[in-house]
Amino acid sequence: MTSKKPSQSKLPTIFVCTNFRSGVHSSCAARGSKDIFKQLKKLAKEKSGDIVVEQIVCLGRCEEGPNVRIAGQKIINSVGIDDLPSILDALLAAGNK
């Protein structure tokens, strides 16, 4: 997988690790992060056209994935589809720039 550079956007941005690694070591994509990325992108578009959702390759917390990071904030671990609305609400409430 090729590395993707994080966005330089000034809009509120959420990065979803979609790294896939087969074998013994866990990875976010092996735990469903590609579905999380797609759903988060859809929900973000519905809530606000001003939220950027991007894929990123590995946040270094592979055993705790799927992992998501709001730009400038901490990594959120073990994210499930049900967590996405509250993650977006927190992002919008914080006025993340």
Which residues contact ligand FES (rule: CB under 6 A)? 17, 19, 27-28, 58-62, 65, 67
Report in angstroms how near the CB of residue 1 gets to ligand FES at its nearest: 10
Backbone angles phi, psi at 20, to 5 degrees: -115, 130
Residue 51 or 67 with smaller CB distance to ligand FES: 67
d(CA 82, CA 97): 24
Report in angstroms how near the CB of residue 24 gets to ligand FES at its nearest: 13
Q: Where are the alpha helices (DSSP H) in the chain?
A: 33-47, 84-94
Report in angstroms how near the CB of residue 60 gets to ligand FES at its nearest: 6
